[in-house]
């Protein structure tokens, strides 16, 4: 094959099962064809690695390649995969479209010529390329129009020919028939109008679809679609919904305002009107148009500093009405929601612009608001910013602390402790977890070394501030929980149980993520002794959360923690044994979690705990015979002690030396020098030892 077009820089996108466009990478696009033009390829090689091919697609006669905007080509592969090429320059997009059109035209003409030669001795005529003709849009012609449109939508080739005939003027002449048919109660004609309008949308022509979404056209279009012949007993109310429920807050830029209106209507068409009647290619076209509009809307607000300044100053001014402040929060929430579907780099730019102009100030108004809608919107904004770049919020907290202000994290913790709504509690707990997860921020190649260094410094200051000033407030509800008597089984209210669950989950996360700081906090407080008491309560979710915390602590393999667990007047392991026995062998999550707890200690051979648990609770756990776990546990205990007794018999009194820390925790337990010597002794030397 010869290369016809080369060196056009593009991004490759693929539509996933959730109708989201996934960026497959940036590369260089080239087009190849053979001498007879009956085979052609579109190839995209990775910009970073020329040996890596991002896309290799044959140009097919029956594939519909659509040019959208000036820089986008969208099509569907024979296997159903939706692909898109986004060009850096409009010139490259036009050049590729022209190439594809030439190849397809040649293929179609060859196919038509071959059919004529094979089936008819008549003289050869020009290839069939004339557009399909539609009769004038009148009531009398509706049956014929419906027949032509239905036939055309069954074939890509016929659909292209019909699309070349259907114009905005034709649609404009057809729409007034809706009112006439409704006045005359011509139900069959209304069904025909619905089928015709569906067919026009399924032509997948961007110009026709955008025309139908105009302010002066959309109501008549959805009015036609209310009369679906597939559901004759159920008339939809699309016009009523769009008239009464589409409340827009107007912005000054007319172009972006039109984009917002168009996007809302596209989303309504896709999710409501066409939800039960649309084919995959049409769904892809609507999704592509929504995606393109989302990108343009987000880019506009990223660059429009005046609008962002005005937006967040509303929240600063005391004289502003609550309704205006409410609108500012809801607008910011909607902007963050649509940004979730665009590329990460564009989303980061938007969030940085929002934060730079004061977006984080919305939380002082929203998170503690009595209006649940505003509270949920504030939670959505916070979650979206944290998911994209949590460093922005951590740095904001550091600046607040340095200025002597109440930090955003303090506000979130107070909301978690005081809010009565289960859903918002979950939002706040997840926000705290994301703030404390320093490993979750994705690598950004655009960040300079100085910015990266400053981010690390701010993160360190934030974590230090959290452990010095905030963690005690976070766990205070558990510390104030009244002590439980031996035979008492506490019953927690739903609100207290939810709060205890979230705090225990956060503590488990801290133990796994923050090594020396979380260890110091656990050793300097009695939080672990209070958490373990939740193993006595009735609520299974709280029991499991408490057990996960203890299990996370055991997973650190730190002997100082183990000693802390048994030397404070309460033996934490006794609570776990009791929780296991209380299940009475029932096959449930608590039983399985307890068994895994002891199995981990046995498999890892944490000798300090193996000895302690068996010597103190062996008589109780040895009665559990529905699993082999404790038979193996006893065997491990006996093996460990046989080794120690043998070493003592051979070498006499032993000395101890610290064991080096392992890779998976804070391991600081001790191993006898004699024990090390025993395992280092060769078999020949051992054979010469005479047992006493």
pLDDT-derived band of residue 602, with 50, 70 and 90 as boundaries?
A: very high
pLDDT for 275 equals 75
Looking at the fold, whether 611 and 587 belong to one and the same domain comes out as: yes
Does 669 have pLDDT greater than 50?
A: no
Last residue of a domain, one of 450, 476, 502: 476
Looking at the fold, whether 631 and 590 belong to one and the same domain comes out as: yes
**Does some domain include residue 311?**
no
Looking at the fold, whether 86 and 227 belong to one and the same domain comes out as: no
Residue that the structure tokens 């600081």 belong to: 668
* Cα–Cα distance, 251 to 305 (Å, whole number): 14
Domain range enclosing 73:
2-114
Looking at the fold, whether 140 and 275 belong to one and the same domain comes out as: yes
- Higher pLDDT: 128 or 586? It is 586
**Does some domain include residue 318?**
no
pLDDT for 687 equals 42
Determine which of 231-245, 408-422, 551-565 has the lowest per-residue pLDDT on average: 231-245
Looking at the fold, whether 615 and 526 belong to one and the same domain comes out as: yes
Give me the DSSP letters along 332-346: HHHHHHHHTTS-HHH
**CATH of residue 101:** 2.30.29.30
Left (φ > 0), alpha (ψ -120 to 50) or beta: where does 350 sit? alpha
pLDDT for 300 equals 92
Does 386 have pLDDT greater than 90?
A: yes
Task: For residues 270-290, give the mean pLDDT.
Answer: 81
Q: Facing residues of 55 across strands? A: 44
Average pLDDT, the chain: 83
Looking at the fold, whether 455 and 499 belong to one and the same domain comes out as: no
**CATH of residue 678:** 1.25.10
**Does some domain include residue 521?**
yes
**Does some domain include residue 332?**
no
Looking at the fold, whether 576 and 650 belong to one and the same domain comes out as: yes
Structure-block tokens of residue 84: 């898109």
| C-beta of residue 112 within 8 angstroms of C-beta of residue 128 | yes
pLDDT for 180 equals 93
Last residue of a domain, one of 476, 507, 533: 476
Looking at the fold, whether 415 and 447 belong to one and the same domain comes out as: yes
Q: Which helix (H) or strand (E) holds 85?
A: strand 82-87
Does 511 have pLDDT greater than 50?
A: yes
- Higher pLDDT: 685 or 692? It is 685
Looking at the fold, whether 397 and 284 belong to one and the same domain comes out as: no
Determine which of 241-255, 356-370, 592-606 has the lowest per-residue pLDDT on average: 241-255
Q: Facing residues of 3 across strands? A: 32
**Does some domain include residue 597?**
yes
Does 433 have pLDDT greater than 90?
A: yes
pLDDT digits 0-9 by tens, 612-648: 999 999 999 999 989 999 999 999 999 988 866 666 6
| C-beta of residue 421 within 8 angstroms of C-beta of residue 372 | yes
* Cα–Cα distance, 581 to 598 (Å, whole number): 13
pLDDT digits 0-9 by tens, 307-318: 899 989 998 888
| C-beta of residue 477 within 8 angstroms of C-beta of residue 410 | no
**Does some domain include residue 322?**
no
* Closest-CA residue to 363 (of 405, 320, 423, 415): 415
| C-beta of residue 335 within 8 angstroms of C-beta of residue 350 | yes
pLDDT-derived band of residue 466, with 50, 70 and 90 as boundaries?
A: very high
Determine which of 106-120, 488-502, 508-522, 534-548 has the lowest per-residue pLDDT on average: 106-120
Last residue of a domain, one of 277, 303, 329: 303
In the chain, the percentage of residues whose pLDDT exceeds 90 is 41
pLDDT for 650 equals 65
pLDDT for 485 equals 67
Looking at the fold, whether 72 and 197 belong to one and the same domain comes out as: no
In 283-429 the beta strands, taken as DSSP E runs, fall at none
- Phi, psi values for residue 63, rounded to 5°: -85, 135
Looking at the fold, whether 497 and 469 belong to one and the same domain comes out as: no
Q: At what angle do helices 540-555 and 494-513 cross, to 10 degrees?
A: 10
Q: Which of 106-110, 165-169, 470-474 has the highest mean pLDDT?
A: 470-474
**Does some domain include residue 604?**
yes
**Does some domain include residue 399?**
yes
Counting the structural domains of the chain, the total is 4
Does 254 have pLDDT greater than 80?
A: yes
Task: For residues 5-20, give the mean pLDDT.
Answer: 82
Handedness of CA 21, 22, 25, 29 (dihedral sign): negative
Task: For residues 189-201, give the mean pLDDT.
Answer: 92
Looking at the fold, whether 519 and 468 belong to one and the same domain comes out as: no
* Cα–Cα distance, 427 to 376 (Å, whole number): 8
Structure-block tokens of residue 644: 């120690």
Task: For residues 437-452, give the mean pLDDT.
Answer: 65
């Amino acid at each position: 094959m010869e290369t016809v077009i080369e060196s056009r820089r593009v991004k490759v996108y693929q539509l996933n099962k959730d109708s989201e466009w996934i960026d497959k990478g940036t590369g260089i696009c080239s087009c190849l064809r053979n001498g007879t033009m009956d085979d052609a390829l579109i190839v995209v090689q990775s910009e970073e690695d020329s040996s890596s091919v991002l896309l290799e697609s044959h140009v097919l006669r029956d594939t519909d390649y659509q040019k959208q905007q000036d820089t986008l080509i969208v099509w569907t592969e024979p296997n159903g995969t939706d692909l898109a090429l986004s060009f850096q320059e409009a010139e490259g997009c036009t050049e590729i479209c022209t190439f594809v059109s030439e190849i397809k035209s040649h293929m179609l003409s060859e196919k038509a010529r071959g059919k004529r030669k094979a089936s008819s001795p008549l003289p050869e005529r020009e290839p069939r390329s004339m557009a399909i003709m539609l009769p004038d849009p009148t009531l009398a012609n509706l049956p014929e129009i419906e027949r032509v449109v239905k036939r055309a939508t069954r074939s890509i080739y016929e659909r292209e020919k019909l699309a070349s005939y259907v114009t905005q003027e034709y649609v404009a002449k057809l729409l007034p028939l809706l009112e006439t048919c409704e006045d005359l109660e011509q139900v069959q004609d209304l069904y025909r109008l619905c089928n015709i309008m569906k067919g026009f949308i399924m032509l997948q022509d961007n110009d026709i679809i955008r025309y139908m979404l105009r302010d002066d056209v959309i109501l008549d279009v959805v009015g036609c679609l209310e009369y679906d012949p597939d559901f004759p007993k159920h008339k939809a109310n699309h016009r009523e919904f769009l008239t009464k429920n589409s409340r827009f807050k107007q912005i000054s830029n007319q172009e972006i305002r039109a984009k917002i209106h168009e996007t809302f209507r596209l989303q309504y068409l896709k999710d409501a009107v066409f939800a039960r009647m649309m084919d995959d290619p049409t769904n892809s076209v609507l999704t592509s148009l929504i995606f393109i509009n989302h990108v343009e809307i987000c880019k506009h607000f990223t660059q429009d500093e005046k609008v962002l300044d005005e937006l967040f100053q509303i929240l600063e001014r005391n004289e502003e009405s609550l309704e205006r402040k409410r609108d500012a929060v809801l607008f910011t929430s909607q902007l963050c929601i649509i940004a979730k579907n665009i590329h990460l780099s564009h989303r980061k730019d938007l969030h940085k612009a929002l934060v730079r102009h004061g977006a984080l100030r919305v939380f002082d108004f929203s998170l503690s608001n009595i209006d649940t809608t505003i509270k949920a919107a504030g939670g959505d904004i916070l979650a979206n910013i944290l998911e994209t770049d949590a460093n922005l919020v951590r740095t904001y907290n550091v600046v607040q602390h340095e200025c002597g202000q109440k930090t955003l994290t303090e506000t979130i913790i107070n909301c978690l402790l005081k809010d009565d709504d289960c859903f918002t509690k979950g939002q706040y707990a997840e926000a705290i977890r994301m703030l404390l997860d320093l490993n979750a921020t994705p690598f950004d190649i655009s960040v300079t070394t100085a910015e990266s260094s400053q981010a690390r410094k701010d993160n360190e200051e934030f974590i230090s501030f959290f452990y010095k000033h905030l963690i005690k407030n976070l766990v205070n509800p558990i510390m104030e929980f009244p002590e439980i008597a031996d035979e008492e089984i506490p019953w927690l209210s739903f609100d207290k149980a939810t709060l205890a669950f979230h705090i225990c989950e956060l503590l488990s996360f801290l133990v796994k993520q923050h090594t020396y700081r979380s260890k110091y906090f656990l050793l300097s407080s009695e939080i672990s002794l209070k958490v373990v008491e939740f193993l006595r309560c009735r609520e299974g979710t709280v029991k499991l959360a408490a057990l996960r915390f203890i299990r996370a602590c055991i997973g650190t393999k730190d002997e100082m923690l183990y000693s802390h667990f048994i030397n404070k007047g309460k033996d934490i392991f006794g609570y776990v044994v009791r929780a296991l026995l209380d299940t009475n062998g029932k096959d449930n999550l608590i039983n399985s979690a307890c068994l895994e707890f002891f199995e981990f200690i046995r498999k890892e051979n944490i000798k300090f705990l193996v000895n302690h648990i068996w010597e103190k609770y062996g008589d109780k756990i040895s009665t559990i015979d529905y699993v082999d776990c404790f038979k193996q546990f006893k065997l491990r205990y006996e093996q460990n002690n046989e080794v120690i007794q043998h070493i003592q018999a051979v070498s006499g009194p032993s000395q101890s030396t610290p064991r080096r820390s392992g890779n998976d925790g804070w391991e600081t337990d001790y191993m006898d020098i004699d024990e090390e010597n025993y395992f280092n002794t060769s078999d020949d030397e051992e054979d010469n030892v005479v047992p006493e």
